């Protein structure tokens, strides 16, 4: 399994000159997290903005920008929470649960407001990040939050449209998103990218 960073050392193409594609969106999502790891804030904003430009084409440029900045603000606020929870250089799970995550939640609220996502997205994603860092069930709130985001991207409040029994769950695309996180945690960036392509292809198909 490869653990390389896709295009991390190459000049990134301007998304303004690129046709929307699921592979490009997946590349930029991974690149945004890589830039976060490298502490390149403005580059992270540009990468997430590229993704949001294509998944939320009904938003204007200012709304897209603030949605992306909200996500990056949440990442940087998360880092501050984590640093406050380190004991001997290691993150203490109990301290994570007890920590003040309100700056992270506030950043997600700004993203939700800018993109028109249900405000529950902010609580769910914050809870997902708490659980992720404390060893709990992060995937359930993650998938729920992504279902809410997908409904905006698809402009379809009824997603995931399950016609028969088995109404539980949040749809196949949020599962792909959770899979991408698992690969992200393993620093298997090519696999993370591949996992996210069906997620973004579903969005682009809805825009045709």
DSSP states of 125-163: HHHHHHHHHHTS--HHHHHHHHHHHHHHHHT-TTTT---
DSSP state letter for 89: T
Tell me what the mean pLDDT of segment 72-82 comes to: 98
What's the whole-model pTM score? Answer: 0.89
Give yes or no for residue 39 having a pLDDT over 60: yes
87, containing H or E segment? strand 86-87
24, containing H or E segment? helix 22-37
Reduced to 3 states, what is the DSSP secondary structure of residue 31? Answer: helix
Confidence of residue 8 (pLDDT cuts 50, 70, 90): very low
> Which of 17, 42, 20, 18 is closest to 31 using CA atoms?
42
């Amino acid at each position: 399994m490869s653990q390389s960073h896709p295009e991390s050392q190459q000049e990134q193409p301007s998304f303004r000159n690129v046709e929307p594609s699921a592979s490009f969106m997946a590349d930029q999502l991974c690149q945004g997290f890589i830039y976060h790891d490298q502490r390149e804030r403005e580059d992270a904003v540009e990468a997430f903005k590229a993704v949001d430009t294509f998944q939320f084409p009904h938003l204007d440029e200012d709304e897209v920008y603030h949605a992306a900045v909200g996500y990056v603000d949440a990442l940087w606020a998360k880092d501050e929470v984590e640093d406050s929870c380190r004991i001997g250089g290691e993150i203490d799970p109990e301290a994570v649960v007890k920590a003040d995550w309100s700056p992270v939640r506030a950043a997600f609220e700004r993203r939700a407001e800018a993109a028109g996502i249900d405000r529950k997205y902010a609580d769910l994603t914050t809870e997902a990040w708490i659980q992720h860092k404390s060893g709990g069930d992060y995937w359930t709130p993650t998938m729920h939050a992504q279902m809410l985001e997908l409904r905006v991207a698809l402009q379809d409040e009824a997603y995931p449209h399950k016609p028969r029994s088995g109404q539980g769950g949040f749809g196949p695309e949020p599962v792909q998103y959770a899979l991408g996180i698992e690969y992200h945690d393993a620093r298997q960036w090519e696999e993370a990218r591949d996992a996210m392509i069906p997620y973004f292809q579903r969005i682009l198909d809805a825009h045709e």
